[in-house]
A = this chain, B = another copy of it.
Amino acid sequence: MLVVMKRQATKDEVHQVVQAIERAGYVARVIEGGERVAIGILQNLGPVDPTPFLHLPGVKDAIPVTKPYKLVSREFSPADTLITVGDCRVGGDHFMLIAGPCAVESEEQALTIAREVKRDGARFFRGGAYKPRTSPYSFQGLGEEGLRILARVREETGLYIVTEALDHEICDLVEECADIIQIGARNMQNFSLLKRAGRARKPILLKRGLAATIQELLMAAEYIISEGNPQVILCERGVRTFADHSRNTLDLSAIPVVRKESPLPIIVDPSHACGRRDQVIPMSRAAVAAGAQGLMVEVHHEPHKALSDGPQALFPIQFEELVRGILPLLTESQRAELHPEPR
C-alpha cells in the first residue's frame, strides 16, 4: 500500500500518517518525490485496509501495490534512480563503463590494466580482492593486500573502484576502501549480506543469480533498499541453461523488463555471461542497443597468465575495439562521459 500525499501537504501531516501506519502495526517509509511525498506501508502480511489513512489531513490517495516488491518499483518512484559516485553519475541517461581484471593479482598488474582501460574511456575499475571460487583450492584473491592495491589504483588513476564483498566482515573492509560494493551472482539471495548492504553508505552493484527470475532480482534489491540504502545498480550476467556454446546465456530481455518495472539502473556483464573472449564484443553492442545503462568488462594485459577467468578477459586492444563499437550506439552526452583518449 502506498499513501500518496497532496502536493501542499505539510511535514506535520506526513508525520501524522506515519504515526497512524505504525499504530496499525506496520512499518512506514517516507519517500520524498520531486513533486509530492508518498509513504510506503511495509511488512503487511495481508491486504491493508486503506480507509483509516484516506481520511487523514493531507492525504490524496492510497494505492494498493499488488506486486510483491514496492521500493524498487516504478509505481513507487517513477523517475529513474540517479546515483552519484564522485564526479560520475549512474542511471537515467548516463552510461557507466567498468573494466578491469577478474582478480587483483599484483600492484603492477592492476595499475597496468587500469591505465589501459582508463585511456579507452572506463571511469570505473573492477578487480576482485576476495574471489568466490567453486574450488577451495583455487586462487581466493589477495584479500586485504588486494584492497590496498585497489586504493592505490584510485589514487594513481582517479578511477572509481568496484569490488566484491563476500560476507559481513569483508563488507566492512570493502565499504571503507571501495566506491561501489559488489554482491556477486552466487550471493544474490544471501539475505543476511543483502541486509548488511542495505546499511552501507556506498552504492551496491547487485548481480543477477544464475537461476534467478527478474522478480527475485528485484526482491533482492528490495531487501537492500528496505534497510535504507536506495543506491542499487542491477547487473545482468547470464543465466544457466542447456546451451553449451557460451558459459551462460545472456538474457538481454531483462533490460527492457527491469527498465519498465523499476527506476534502478541496469548494466550488463558480458564477460561472465559468455566465458569466451570472442563473444564479448558483439554481446556488449547488443546490450547497449537493448538499453543497458552500462557495461562491466573483464580486461587483462596478459590473459594467458591470469589467475582466474583468463579465457574471457579481453586484451586491451580488444577493449579499445569494444569501446569504438559501442560509441555509435550512445547518445552524445554519454559519449562525452567516456571521452577515450587517442592512443
Contacts and interface: CB of A to CB of B under 8 A. Distances in A.
A308 B244 CA distance: 23
Contacts of A251: 241, 243, 249-250
A340 interface: no
Most buried by B among A42, A226, A282: A282
Instruction: Give how many copies assemble into the complex.
Output: 4
A222 B136 contact: yes
A249 B249 contact: yes
Contacts of A289: 282, 285-286, 288-290, 329
Q: Indicate the size class of the contact surface on chain A.
A: 35 or more
B136 A226 contact: yes
A63 interface: no
Interface string A15-39: 0000000000000000000000000
A174 to B, nearest CB: 13
Contacts of A138: 45
Contacts of A243: 213-214, 239, 251, 253
Q: A-B pairs with the 6 shortest C-beta distances? A: A211-B211, A289-B289, A167-B192, A286-B290, A186-B189, A285-B289
30 contacts: A42-B137, A45-B138, A69-B135, A135-B222, A166-B190, A166-B191, A167-B192, A167-B193, A168-B169, A170-B192, A190-B190, A209-B211, A213-B243, A213-B244, A241-B242, A241-B249, A243-B253, A245-B254, A249-B249, A250-B253, A252-B252, A253-B274, A253-B283, A256-B278, A282-B289, A282-B290, A288-B289, A289-B289, A289-B290, A328-B329
